[in-house]
């Protein structure tokens, strides 16, 4: 029985809906599951259920909610191996990377469970005698959560967990290609004792299900992660409705790693390879530009190519694999398309640039070689646009100021990294790059859940942060109460 259901208040496997197939991107002969294509009406009904469930859920005590989160953490932890395997079969990333998502989810559950029983407001001294002024944080209502496929478990988790923890209810639309792992997360919550209707899962086309979530007036806040283009569409749709609703948009990145002349070239190469080709480049936090001092170029490029040759590509379930397939045919074609664009723009292809075919392991999956372009200039499309695949652009610079200008020259502003032993240089870089996260001698990939995250410019609408204590700000509003006595 490969047909799976959705959560519309409770778990249902709709009888009269069309189903679509989820296939393993490493081996498309393998069917992972089938999910229903829900309609606009189904989505509307689910929002109504979530609205109703809010009445009770918002009045539960934080300790009661925390108890459910701790229990869900325990359940997910006990299933870690199976969940990681399922995630790899559905999305393609390596087992180690999938396990990282599972553990991150467990950590997020425990972090927010602890956080919500702590202070949720403040007391402000009044200018009047016999007066107490206090602020409290209240949940907003129904939150629409719309998520991409590249982190199909931990990314939704860092939205859903603080939303629910603070007393909101959720209608979640996972990316169409990764609903199976999504369903497992929702199941764990209900097994942990979550009341019906608090977390709902709807699958189906973005044009119906996604559009209804964005435009339905009963939705109190929208949190979205995905492409810049879709983020803009959502923003425009809500704007046209002239509706006062919170929107959190986390969009793409075109992250640069800068090797300083005072930095360790071997470390730069190691971290760049890991951040460019790990996760098959399918991370908002991936490194897609590598900036090297002009006079170190030849030496660094040959180290980079040597190191990249060691990247093992294959089925993520196999031990020792560093890089899985692209997650879908669409991604595969997009990445190959950008490789052609790079060649036509005059960048020099120095490694990879091909699909991988041959044998049982590769013939049925979306495998592409790790790819390096040299002599990339800031005006080229491969230096500006988010490719979301294992394609790295090598660029050169002369001074740190010039490097910072290049870092800032795209419409994105998510993460920037520098490799240096000079603390003044690190500080200057951190101060002047227009991004939400700076990494010094660390890979651009890899975020910690207790740290606020979010981009600037085209990387997000830059109002609220995700993760950390700061996530609470998006999912709650502040009320001020004056009490005279």
Residues that bind ligand ADP (CB under 6 A): 146-149, 173, 175-176, 206, 210-211, 214, 226-227, 230, 233-234
8 Å CB contact between 200 and 46: yes
Q: How far apart are CA 145 and CA 161, in angstroms?
A: 11
Q: How far apart are CA 226 and CA 167, in angstroms?
A: 25
Q: For ligand ADP, give the closer residue by CB, 6 or 259.
A: 6
Q: Which long-range contacts (CB under 8 A, 24 or more apart) does 398-404 make?
A: 398/293, 398/294, 400/260, 400/425, 400/428, 400/429, 403/258, 403/260, 403/291, 403/429, 404/428, 404/429, 404/432, 404/433
DSSP for 325-346 reads --SSHHHHHHHHHHHHHHHHHT
Going by C-alpha positions, the residue among 184, 4, 22 that lies closest to residue 92 is 22
Is-catalytic flag, 284?
yes
CA dihedral 323, 328, 331, 336 (to 10 degrees): 70
**Catalytic hit among 90, 101, 184, 250:** 250
Q: Output the CA torsion sign for 345, 346, 348, 353.
A: positive
Quote the least distance from Cβ 70 to ligand ADP, whole Å: 29
Q: For ligand ADP, give the closer residue by CB, 233 or 270.
A: 233
Kindly state the DSSP code that residue 207 receives in the 8-state scheme.
Answer: I
**Catalytic hit among 101, 212, 284, 466:** 284
Q: Is 481 exposed, middle or buried (0-12, 13-18, 19+ CB in 10 A)?
A: exposed
Is-catalytic flag, 402?
no
Q: For ligand ADP, give the closer residue by CB, 295 or 333.
A: 333
Residues in the chain: 485
Q: For ligand ADP, give the closer residue by CB, 191 or 211.
A: 211
Instruction: Give one word for 56, left, alpha or beta, with left for phi > 0 and alpha for psi -120 to 50.
Output: alpha
Q: For ligand ADP, give the closer residue by CB, 234 or 271.
A: 234
Q: For ligand ADP, give the closer residue by CB, 173 or 289.
A: 173
Cα–Cα distances in angstroms (integers) from residue 424 to residues 179, 194, 400, in the given order: 46, 50, 11
Q: For ligand ADP, give the closer residue by CB, 72 or 222.
A: 222
The 10 Å CB-count burial string (b at 16+, else e) for 14-36 is: beebeebebbbbbbbeeebbbbb
Going by C-alpha positions, the residue among 311, 365, 357, 368 that lies closest to residue 334 is 368
8 Å CB contact between 159 and 223: yes
User: ∠14-16-19 over CA atoms, to 5°?
Assistant: 70
Catalytic residues: 250, 284
């Amino acid at each position: 029985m490969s047909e799976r259901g959705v959560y519309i208040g409770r778990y249902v496997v709709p009888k009269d809906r069309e189903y679509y197939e989820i296939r393993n991107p490493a081996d498309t002969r393998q069917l992972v599951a089938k999910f229903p294509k829900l309609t606009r009406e189904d989505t509307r009904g689910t929002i109504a259920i979530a609205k109703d469930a809010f009445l009770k859920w918002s009045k539960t005590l934080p300790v009661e909610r925390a108890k459910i989160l701790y229990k869900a953490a325990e359940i997910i932890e006990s299933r870690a191996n199976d969940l990681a395997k399922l995630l790899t079969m559905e999305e393609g990333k390596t087992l180690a990377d999938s396990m990282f998502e599972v553990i991150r989810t467990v950590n997020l559950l425990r972090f927010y469970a602890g956080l919500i029983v702590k202070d949720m407001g403040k007391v402000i001294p009044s200018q009047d005698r016999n007066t107490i002024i206090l602020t409290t944080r209240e949940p907003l209502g129904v939150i629409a959560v719309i998520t991409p496929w590249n982190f199909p478990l931990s990314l939704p988790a860092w939205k859903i967990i603080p939303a629910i923890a603070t007393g909101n209810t959720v209608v979640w639309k996972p990316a169409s290609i990764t609903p199976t792992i999504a369903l497992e997360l929702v199941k764990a919550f209900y097994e942990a004792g979550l009341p019906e209707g608090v977390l709902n899962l709807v699958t189906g086309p973005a044009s119906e299900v996604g559009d209804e979530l964005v435009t339905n007036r009963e939705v109190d806040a929208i949190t979205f992660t995905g492409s810049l283009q879709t983020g803009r569409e959502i923003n425009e749709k809500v704007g046209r409705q002239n509706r006062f609703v919170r929107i959190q948009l986390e969009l793409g990145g075109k992250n640069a790693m800068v090797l300083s002349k005072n930095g360790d070239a071997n470390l730069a190469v190691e971290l760049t390879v890991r951040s460019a080709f790990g996760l098959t480049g399918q991370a908002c936090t991936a490194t897609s530009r590598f900036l090297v001092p002009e006079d170190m170029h030849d030496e660094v490029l040959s180290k980079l190519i040597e190191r990249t040759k060691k990247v093992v590509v294959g089925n993520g379930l196999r031990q020792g694999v560093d890089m899985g397939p692209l997650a879908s045919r669409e991604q595969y074609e997009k990445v190959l398309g950008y490789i052609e664009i790079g060649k036509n723009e005059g960048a020099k292809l120095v490694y990879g640039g091909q699909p991988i075919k041959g044998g049982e392991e590769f013939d049925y999956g979306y495998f592409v070689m790790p790819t390096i372009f040299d002599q990339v200039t800031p005006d080229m499309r491969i230096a500006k646009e988010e490719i979301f695949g294992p394609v790295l652009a090598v660029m050169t610079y002369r001074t740190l100021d010039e490097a910072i200008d290049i870092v800032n020259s795209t419409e994105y502003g998510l993460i920037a990294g520098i490799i240096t032993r000079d603390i003044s240089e690190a500080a200057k870089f951190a101060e002047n790059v227009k991004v939400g996260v700076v990494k010094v001698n660390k890979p651009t990939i890899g975020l910690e859940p207790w740290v606020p995250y979010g981009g600037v410019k085209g990387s997000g609408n830059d109002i609220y942060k995700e993760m950390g204590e700061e996530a609470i700000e998006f999912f709650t509003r502040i009320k001020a109460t004056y009490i005279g006595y």
